Amino acid sequence: MSELQQERFNDGSIVNEKELSAPNEPHLACVLLLDTSGSMYGAPIESLNNAVNQFKEQVCKDPISRKRIDIAIIEFNSNVKVVQEFTPISLMQPVELKANGGTSMGAGIIAAIEKVQERNQVYAKMGTPCYKPWIFMITDGEPTDDISSARARIAERESIGKFGKLKFWAVGVPGYNEETLKSLSKRCIALDGADFTNIFNWLSESMTIISVSQVTDNPQLGKLPEDARFIPQELC
């Protein structure tokens, strides 16, 4: 702990680098909603753990972003568990997820939506400006529970008001069901393999782009990495 950098905080005290979240600055809440079902066992879950842990380091390189981004982690397998409550990204603890059980995707999505909704209400109550929250779901399989309620909740949150109140991303790892993902979100990404490094690098860049923009802007995100592609939605 002795090697911690100290920087002047705006209350004049010399504080630990850990105190990096700034109430006056707009905040971006992002839930990492992660499939830790049995099929993710082995290399996929290892890659996921590494990618999530590196994601923090990447985002924290930007001095503005690291004060503005709050991350929560929810895993779903046979059950749904909040691995980490909303925490400033600089204070994210390393994850060591284990793969086991079924795929309660519907319950996981509902839990994530409730988390971000509650989060934005807290920001509003505290007078902290905020960006539209993100849910970034990664899955490699079919849901083993009913996802119809989850589907309806995503649609509702994304269409409230003129611009919606949520950005839901569904990322499929080989083994995923394309129709299921497309039914959930217009933002579907397919990965070529179970290496999450590049997609999380893209996520960290995207978070940075958003968090340094004005709250009312709609900034352009970067290109997807080469091992990922958008899943096209059919025109109605």
Q: Which among 64, 86, 73 is positioned nearest to 208, based on CA atoms? A: 64
Number of neighbouring beta carbons within 10 Å of residue 45: 24
Out of 91, 155, 209, 224, which residue is the one contacting another protein (CB under 8 A)? 91
Q: Which 3 state secondary structure label does DSSP give 184? A: helix
Binding segment for another protein (CB under 8 A), chosen from 42-50, 148-156, 173-181, 210-218, is 210-218
The token duo for 134 is 């993100």
222 interacts with another protein by CB under 8 A: no
Question: d(Cα 138, Cα 113) in Å, to the nearest integer?
Answer: 15
Q: Which residue has the tokens 């995100």?
A: 221
Under the criterion CB under 8 A, does residue 159 sit at the interface with another protein?
Answer: no
Task: Using the minimum distance from each CB to another protein, give the nearer residue, 131 or 202.
Answer: 131
Place of tokens 């569904």: 170
Q: How many residues bind another protein (CB under 8 A)?
A: 46
Q: Pick the stretch among 116-124, 148-156, 191-199, 201-209 that binds another protein (CB under 8 A).
A: 116-124
Contact between 217 and another protein per CB under 8 A = yes
Among 120, 180, 185, 204, the residue binding another protein under the rule CB under 8 A is: 120
Identity of the residue, 193 or 222, whose beta carbon is nearer to another protein in the bound complex: 222
CB-based contact 51:197 (threshold 8 Å): yes
Find the part of the chain contacting another protein (CB under 8 A) among 22-30, 107-115, 137-145, 190-198. Answer: 22-30
Distance CA 114, CA 140 (A): 23
Q: Encoding tokens for residue 91? A: 């204070």
Three-state DSSP class for residue 233: coil
Euclidean distance between CA atoms 71 and 21, whole angstroms? 12
211 binds another protein (CB under 8 A): no
Strand partners, 228: 191
Q: Does 229 bind another protein (CB under 8 A)?
A: no
Residue of 7, 13, 96, 229 interacting with another protein (CB under 8 A): 13
Binding site for another protein (CB under 8 A): 1, 4, 8-13, 15-16, 18-19, 21, 23-25, 70, 85-88, 91, 120, 122-132, 160-163, 165, 212-218
